[in-house]
């Protein structure tokens, strides 16, 4: 999976390191892939990002971002690959893995992103969920609490086709 292209997802994850503000979600609409169900915690709302990503979280801010990679479901990345891929892009921060797991077509990593100077520490998650022939990449946004990050990981793990079987 080392050949992954640069993603808007990585930009959101690295906002803590680079000091960039996260972008605000656009108007509310259905996820980009019709028929996909993302179980959200009570009080969370779903929105579409300006780049067609799916975003969800409490009304005050997006916590979870999901990007669709059509046709990429054949190769589900293991948690170790997700961690290595994310860590390779960090220069002024490092990752401390809190937990990682693979379950029912999902690979998830929950970690702390720590500033290199021993300063800020941010809980975060990165995941991949295979649904049919597609791969969905999930990540938390900077500013999410530990509880919200855990809820984001759970939502990613339970993402599924609603109704008809996955193509």
The answer to whether 137 touches 67, Cβ cutoff 8 Å, is: yes
What pLDDT, on a 0 to 100 scale, did the predictor assign at position 34?
A: 52
Share of the chain above pLDDT 70, in %: 75
Q: Which of 25-29, 66-70, 141-145, 157-161 has the lowest mean pLDDT?
A: 25-29
Which CATH number does the domain 37-161 belong to among 3.40.1000.10, 3.40.710.10, 1.10.260.40, 1.20.1070.10? 3.40.1000.10
SS3 call for 97:
strand
Provide mean pLDDT across the span 156-160.
92
What pLDDT, on a 0 to 100 scale, did the predictor assign at position 35?
A: 66
The answer to whether 152 touches 125, Cβ cutoff 8 Å, is: yes
Domain residue spans in the chain?
37-161
- Residues in Cβ contact with 134 at an 8 Å cutoff, skipping those fewer than 6 apart: 33, 68, 69, 70, 71, 72, 73, 166
Confidence of residue 27 (pLDDT cuts 50, 70, 90): very low
- For the stretch 121-148, pLDDT in tens is 899 999 999 998 999 999 999 999 999 9
**What's the mean pLDDT when you consider all of the chain?**
77
Provide mean pLDDT across the span 11-19.
34
- For the stretch 69-106, pLDDT in tens is 999 999 899 999 998 888 787 777 788 899 999 998 99
Provide mean pLDDT across the span 20-49.
61
Q: Which of 54-58, 68-72, 116-120, 158-162 has the lowest mean pLDDT?
A: 116-120
Distance CA 107, CA 156 (A): 9
């Amino acid at each position: 999976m080392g050949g992954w292209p640069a993603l808007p997802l990585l930009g959101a994850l690295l906002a803590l390191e680079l000091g960039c503000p996260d972008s605000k979600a656009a108007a509310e609409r259905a996820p980009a892939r019709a028929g996909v169900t993302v179980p959200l915690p009570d009080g969370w709302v779903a929105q579409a990002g300006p780049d067609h990503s799916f975003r969800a979280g409490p009304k005050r801010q997006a916590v979870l971002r999901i990007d669709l990679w059509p046709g990429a479901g054949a190769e589900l990345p293991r948690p170790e690959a997700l961690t290595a891929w994310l860590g390779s892009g960090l220069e002024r921060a490092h990752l401390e893995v809190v937990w990682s797991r693979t379950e029912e077509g999902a690979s998830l990593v929950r970690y702390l992103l720590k500033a290199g100077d021993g300063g800020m520490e941010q809980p975060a998650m990165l995941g991949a969920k295979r649904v049919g022939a597609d791969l969905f990449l999930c990540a938390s946004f900077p500013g999410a609490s530990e509880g919200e990050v855990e809820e984001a990981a759970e939502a990613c793990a339970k993402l599924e086709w609603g109704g008809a079987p996955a193509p």
